[in-house]
Structure 1
Amino acid sequence: MKKMLLWLATTSSTLIFAAQFLQLMRNKQNNNGYKQNALIFKVWARKGYSVFATIKRVVVISVLAVAYLFLATLKTGASEKDTSEVKMQYDIDEIEVSASRAPAVYSEIARVLTIIEADEIERAPVESIQELLGYVAATDIRSRGAGGVQADVSIRGGSFDQTIILLNGINITDPQTGHHNLNIPVSLSQIKRIEVLEGPAARVYGPSAFSGAVNIITCQPEANTLRLQLSGGSFNYFNSNLSGSLQTGKMNHMLAANRKSSSGYIDNTDFGISNLFYSGKAYTSKGNISVQLGISEKEFGANSFYSPKYPNQFEETGTFFSAARWKSNSRFHFTPAVYWRRHTDKFMLFRNNPPDWYSNHNYHLTNIGGANVNSWIRWAAGKTAAGAEFRYEGIRSNVLGEEMENTVKVPGEEAFYTHSKNRSTVSLFIDHFYTTNAFSVSAGLMANHISDQNSGWNFFPGIDAGYQLNEATKLVVSFNTSLRMPTFTDLYYSGPTNIGNPDLKPEKSATLESGVKLNKGFARGHFIVFFRKGENMIDWVKQSSDELWQSQNLTQINSRGAEAALNFRLNEKLGKNLPEMFNLSYFYNNQEKDITGYISNYVLDNLKHKFTASVTQRITGNLSVNLRTVFQDREGAFTEFDNGTETGEVSYPPFWLFDGKVMYQSNNLKLTLSASNIFNRSYFDLGNIVQPGRWIKAGVEYQLNFN
């Protein structure tokens, strides 16, 4: 009943929002008043004009024909991609990205940064962020359930706790466990782009950016729109999304409600996910302020998620997120932000019919909150940025943390929080970026102090450099360092065979990488080799077979790898009948562990080989198809179970997966048909968790655009 009430509330809120702005449109029409419109360039398609993106100026062009097109009260054909439509294309090189403390466009970054744009998200045969990230060669997505229920995200062979997740630049990484990092209140339709930065990124994003970072950036439409999306498919899958955007004066609003559910592809894999998300942006003469609010609730059958001995597991999670940021327009750019994320987790080892020895479920409540400020200035020697961040992390639990003097009742449950723990982190940043026609360099430092550590201040430097050999080829090299604070699970998880270690120190990493980046108009790509040294790696170890496993900072892991990627727009060079997009990428990683005197329980189960390929082909003016394949070869093994009984260690077998999506778009209407795991491949990618077979979905979308 609680879930249904939440969904009714979110849906009704969105419908009320839609009704209000439809009435506003009618009022505008009746007033016969027209607002002067202008076309504003925020990015420029030619490389020589990258300065427009970085100096934060706008170019305003007043054209009578453009004004005429924007004066219609209702546009009936705004979304169709037609060759007869007058459009302005922008180059990805001119997109301002967040992989630097000082603003920089994509072409200036001397790191491997993968950008997944909205049009690629629209074409991909996926309906969750987890599935989408799985097509990035250097990312390892290990799903525990379908539809975005839960997945572990790692980059370049790191663990799921070593990747930082950001929403619009705000660190939402969960301190309890990385399993919850992607519990965010947005669906794919609200995402403008995703940026995946590979390698340590402490001086850019702060602590926990150990092996990489994923920044999810949502849309903030400047037009008045109303959009309804419905899709359904195998295993009683149903996904509904209702969203709208509205401009009132100098402020833009976006509100979206989403509900997704399925009866499950095997027993106890059913799920229900509800999201409500609002974002707003107000513009003033001195700058702009943006706010975001979101609520997400999930309930799902967790078949063998954490132990194959007990396939009848069940879990419920809830997330509340809020943030606000100011961005000034002055010469001395000043950007403060505040944020808060609250997350609840209820885990049941037995969904029903528990045995007599099972006494209680696990309950966790985590709060993270903080404030940060970033500032930068342009001067004769380049751009200099400096910043600071304060971050609080706290947990209440009946399992994790230190024992509380006074217990606290779990809201809505016959249970009590009996343990708690909190910590705070202060980080200081400085970074400088300098560029000439052929050479660019960015160097900086993060200083970090953690409240419950006795190590004082820690320093993490980094430098990136690039040299433009010619118009198409750029040499890049970088050295960066970072840390990863232990999660509360690392510190306090205890069981019949395990004992936590509250004295764990942060993990540290240093990565050296170099290579070449290619940009030849219709073709772009890169080839990179890297070496990462990880110290104080957290491992579960013991000195003899009759001892308990204990978490310790005793392991060093070295990673050596390479990555190659090529993206072609063949129709731009060789004719319109060829594929619009053809992508190939390959990732290789070899990890070595150094630990002496201890028995280790840490399993090196990183991806050693990963290959991805995709092609987008337009069949007619309105009909297109996107086909994708992924090959994975994983190191390590898992303990196989048969009816709750161990049958021995089994290596992860390599496998291929094929997905596809057909999309028809005409004016405001869009129809889709997609299939994942087309050949119904049976495979294991995380322990004994059975992955979904062939899954077919069909969808419809209708959008109204108002002015």
Structure 2
Amino acid sequence: MEHKTQAKSPLRFKRWTNKSYSIFRTIGKTITIGTLASAMLAISSVDVFGQQNQQHSFATDSINKMAEVDVEGEKSAMMLPLLDATIVFSAQEIQRAGVQNLQDLLQFVNGLDLKTRGNEGVQADISYRGSTFDQIAILINGINFTDPQTGHHNLNIPIIFSEIERIEILRGPGAWSAGNIAFAGAINIIYKEKKNNKQTQCKLVAGDHNYINGEISTNLSWNKFHILAGLNHSQSTGYIENTDFKISNFYTLAGYRDPKLGAINFQFGLSSKDFGANSFYTIKYKEQYEETRSLITSLSHEKSWHNWRSSASLYFRQHRDMFQLFRNSAPTWYTGHNYHVTNTLGANVQLSKKSKWGITTASIDYRDESILSSNLGELLETPQYDQLYCDTVFKKGKNRTHFSGALTHKYFYKGNTITLGIMESGNNDYGFKTYGGINFENRSWIKNGIVNFFINNSYRLPTFTDLYYSSPSQTGNPDLKPEQSLNTEFSYRHIYKAFTMEVALFYKYGFQLIDWVKLPTEEKWHSENLQNIATIGTDIQFSYKPKNGFINKFSINYTFLDMQQMESHYLSLYVSDYLKNQVNIHLDHDIYKGFSANWLLSFYDRNGTYLDKITLEEHPYPSYFVCNLKINYQRNNYQIFMEVANLFNQEYFDYPHIISPGRWLKMGILIKL
């Protein structure tokens, strides 16, 4: 018997035409989003309890200011981490790096594994320290915009690359404000906020494979108001057959600050991607094609008074996905394209109190996730009609609600900081569970050194794809349970003048982990709670950033992972092919009178094997080395640059049989007005 679910009515846009710029036609027009009349949250921050006793600043304002990073602007006010955020790229480093999109930048972050299905921001699965791509949370200005359908869509978000202030990583499940999705960690993208200033930027880039990228943005402030707005478009005919793409983004961030009223912030963004998906999801069919549309929006308020601080946020994300197994002509047995619409509505309230005992924070988080689909979910009692996708009728859907409450206390004593946290988290399908953690930090034992230790646990709900996906090669499992893990880490960081060194040892035991598996005799992959895995690893990082000299920055980072799985007769689709060894090298140096060079180099050694499609034999994943180079010429308010991705023309792949591009040359100009 099929279960029937009454789903909510779909949220509706005006119809987009089949143009690369059509997503922007919705700007300034009425967009109906259910009962949500407006858009919702950005990030803001005000001084914490004035300037009293800086040592006792909020845990939410704690960011690891490594020596190689210059931090300006506001800190992540909406975060409630047990652990501090680590800044991996500053605004200056992003501007000077030899990439033009977030996806390609993140592949040079230590511990992150970016498995790409097409470069230049088309699509990538992101994991951290051996996690799967569904176990990472994606935040913009501290707001959780993680996709509930599948981790494949997590990076389908509006990115104005030139206006990013910094990119942070929160290790482990310490990013509690991300809800119960931050299983392995969170990536937080912070946009710039100008103060008493204004700036407009224009960028134009052209390159191989008929690549074009244009971006314009403005960032200004006056009195108590500030606003950022930008849009961009990139496209290419592709590096091989059916890898063409068109990507467009629009984003705006507006805010108001008043000493009495506090800080109010609003953000809104749209993203559109159309791309050929040659062998992306199955090697049997080369003519796959996909279109995605994303909307994010949020509203927040934050205020500090005396020894108190409150913050509240409301956010919404909609994602639309249309997938064609056959882009042009289809065989008679083909039943039609896949259509999916997911809606995520959430709210978060936090209240913090500072006392002589430290800082205590209580928070409540609500998150509602729903999907309407042609093949994901349970059979609907009443089919839902959607005009956007060629008058599509959705016959399946699912709705679920999460609720969590957390209490955190941060205690300071003689150079020691102890943070305790407990969370009660529940779901209408799985009930409530209790989770907690402890973090210890010392800054007094060793001069210029920081010792840190934490232990905590977390869980993650199955995605809608895990539960309901059905295709000729895969079958979901509606009886899946949440996956869980126990995590611990010890780290030491030492900062001396222009040098920074950090060593971290970490251990994670995951149980009831969700993976797509099959027996050697089976044809189809199916999702199961089969994997119990112990992961042990180390991160070693070294950086040098002098204030003056030929070298602007040099860093080298190494990550090692070893994952031990329980004995099993099943083959694994995702869990076993992790990065066993990863080395990232970053060198930024001057050349002569305004000329400089930026090198990003990475070595990847992947665990596991893949099946050769011709010989049908198993082979270990080959190791590979990638180098990106950017030559800059900076003069006054303009920058002329040349980029070469994959400088040495290495042939490599992250997914078997999806060959990545070879050497790709681009040239461009950036003007600041």
TM-score normalised according to structure 2 size? 0.88
1:418 equivalent in alignment to 2:395: yes
Which SS does the other structure have where 1:311 is aligned?
coil
1:505 equivalent in alignment to 2:481: yes
Following the alignment from structure 2 to structure 1, what is the Cα–Cα distance between the partners of residues 589 and 473?
54
1:540 equivalent in alignment to 2:516: yes
1:614 equivalent in alignment to 2:586: yes
Letter in 2 for 1:584: I
1:652 equivalent in alignment to 2:612: no
Name which of 414, 428, 433 aligns with 2:405: 428
Alignment of 1:542-557 (within 5 A): 545=521, 549-557=525-533
1:230 equivalent in alignment to 2:204: yes
Distance 1:101-1:144 versus aligned 2 partners, 3 A rule: closer
Q: Offset at 1:687?
A: 1.9
Aligned to 2:93: 120
Q: Offset at 1:422?
A: 0.9
Check conservation: 2:23, 2:270, Cα contact below 8 A.
no
Distance 1:596-1:227 versus aligned 2 partners, 3 A rule: closer
Check conservation: 1:626, 1:661, Cα contact below 8 A.
yes
Following the alignment from structure 2 to structure 1, what is the Cα–Cα distance between the partners of residues 616 and 108?
33
Following the alignment from structure 1 to structure 2, what is the Cα–Cα distance between the partners of residues 584 and 142?
21
1:272 equivalent in alignment to 2:249: no
Letter in 2 for 1:587: T
Check conservation: 1:163, 1:211, Cα contact below 8 A.
yes
Following the alignment from structure 1 to structure 2, what is the Cα–Cα distance between the partners of residues 461 and 341?
28
1:634 equivalent in alignment to 2:603: no
Deviations 1:406-456 (A, max 9, x none): 222342415321100010000111111122342112111121001111xx3
1:174 equivalent in alignment to 2:147: yes
Deviations 1:371-426 (A, max 9, x none): 11122121101111110110000000011000112222342415321100010000
Following the alignment from structure 1 to structure 2, what is the Cα–Cα distance between the partners of residues 699 and 680?
21
Name which of 257, 275, 280 aligns with 1:305: 280
Distance 1:590-1:500 versus aligned 2 partners, 3 A rule: same
Following the alignment from structure 1 to structure 2, what is the Cα–Cα distance between the partners of residues 95 and 115?
16
Name which of 403, 424, 427 aligns with 1:447: 424
Which SS does the other structure have where 1:656 is aligned?
strand
Aligned to 1:686: 655
Which runs of 5 or more residues in structure 2 are unaligned?
Answer: 1-16, 30-45, 62-66
Letter in 1 for 2:487: T
Distance 1:7-1:430 versus aligned 2 partners, 3 A rule: closer
Name which of 256, 281, 289 aligns with 2:230: 256
Name which of 309, 318, 321 aligns with 1:342: 318
Which SS does the other structure have where 2:248 is aligned?
strand
Which SS does the other structure have where 2:176 is aligned?
helix
Name which of 183, 189, 198 aligns with 2:162: 189
Deviations 1:652-672 (A, max 9, x none): 100111111111111111111
Aligned to 1:84: none
Check conservation: 1:102, 1:376, Cα contact below 8 A.
no
Distance 1:370-1:529 versus aligned 2 partners, 3 A rule: same
Q: Offset at 1:92?
A: 4.9
Aligned to 1:589: 561
Name which of 117, 120, 123 aligns with 1:150: 123
Name which of 131, 135, 139 aligns with 2:112: 139
Distance 1:203-1:623 versus aligned 2 partners, 3 A rule: same
Distance 1:269-1:473 versus aligned 2 partners, 3 A rule: same
Following the alignment from structure 1 to structure 2, what is the Cα–Cα distance between the partners of residues 211 and 578?
38
Letter in 2 for 1:447: E
Deviations 1:535-589 (A, max 9, x none): 11113346783586532212201101001001102x44xxx44311110000000
Q: Offset at 1:364?
A: 0.3
Which SS does the other structure have where 1:619 is aligned?
strand
Deviations 1:608-636 (A, max 9, x none): 00001111111235221111210000011
Name which of 160, 178, 181 aligns with 1:208: 181
Check conservation: 2:20, 2:247, Cα contact below 8 A.
no
* Range with bigger deviation, 190-199 or 218-227: 218-227
Distance 1:534-1:9 versus aligned 2 partners, 3 A rule: same
Which SS does the other structure have where 2:134 is aligned?
coil
Alignment of 1:666-705 (within 5 A): 666-704=635-673
Check conservation: 1:661, 1:674, Cα contact below 8 A.
yes
Q: Offset at 1:702?
A: 1.2
* Range with bigger deviation, 229-238 or 471-480: 471-480
Aligned to 2:262: 287
Deviations 1:330-384 (A, max 9, x none): 2311100000101000000111121121120000000000111122121101111
Letter in 1 for 2:365: E
Check conservation: 1:102, 1:384, Cα contact below 8 A.
no
Check conservation: 1:392, 1:422, Cα contact below 8 A.
yes
Check conservation: 1:289, 1:325, Cα contact below 8 A.
yes
Deviations 1:283-310 (A, max 9, x none): 1223110000111111001111101111
1:374 equivalent in alignment to 2:346: no
Check conservation: 1:50, 1:94, Cα contact below 8 A.
no
Aligned to 2:4: none
Q: Offset at 1:196?
A: 0.9
Following the alignment from structure 2 to structure 1, what is the Cα–Cα distance between the partners of residues 147 and 423?
21
TM-score normalised according to structure 1 size? 0.84
Distance 1:3-1:49 versus aligned 2 partners, 3 A rule: farther
Check conservation: 1:513, 1:529, Cα contact below 8 A.
yes
Q: Offset at 1:474?
A: 1.7
Distance 1:425-1:7 versus aligned 2 partners, 3 A rule: closer
Distance 1:271-1:603 versus aligned 2 partners, 3 A rule: same
Name which of 206, 210, 213 aligns with 1:239: 213
Distance 1:669-1:601 versus aligned 2 partners, 3 A rule: closer
Distance 1:604-1:531 versus aligned 2 partners, 3 A rule: same
Aligned to 2:372: 396
Check conservation: 2:213, 2:233, Cα contact below 8 A.
yes
Aligned to 2:294: 319
Check conservation: 1:542, 1:600, Cα contact below 8 A.
yes
Alignment of 1:65-104 (within 5 A): 92=70, 97-98=75-76
Check conservation: 1:391, 1:424, Cα contact below 8 A.
yes
Letter in 1 for 2:654: D
Which SS does the other structure have where 1:161 is aligned?
helix
Aligned to 1:471: 447
Following the alignment from structure 1 to structure 2, what is the Cα–Cα distance between the partners of residues 665 and 129?
22
Following the alignment from structure 1 to structure 2, what is the Cα–Cα distance between the partners of residues 197 and 475?
17
Which SS does the other structure have where 1:661 is aligned?
strand
Distance 1:606-1:112 versus aligned 2 partners, 3 A rule: farther
Distance 1:697-1:11 versus aligned 2 partners, 3 A rule: farther
Following the alignment from structure 2 to structure 1, what is the Cα–Cα distance between the partners of residues 437 and 382?
45
| CA-based RMSD | 2.8
Following the alignment from structure 1 to structure 2, what is the Cα–Cα distance between the partners of residues 42 and 380?
19
Which runs of 5 or more residues in structure 1 are unaligned?
Answer: 14-40, 58-88, 104-108
Letter in 1 for 2:145: I
Deviations 1:681-700 (A, max 9, x none): 11111121110111111111
Following the alignment from structure 1 to structure 2, what is the Cα–Cα distance between the partners of residues 379 and 237?
57
Aligned to 1:662: 631
Distance 1:53-1:5 versus aligned 2 partners, 3 A rule: same
Aligned to 2:3: none
Aligned to 1:22: none
1:329 equivalent in alignment to 2:304: yes
Distance 1:100-1:435 versus aligned 2 partners, 3 A rule: farther
Check conservation: 2:200, 2:217, Cα contact below 8 A.
yes
Q: Offset at 1:149?
A: 0.7
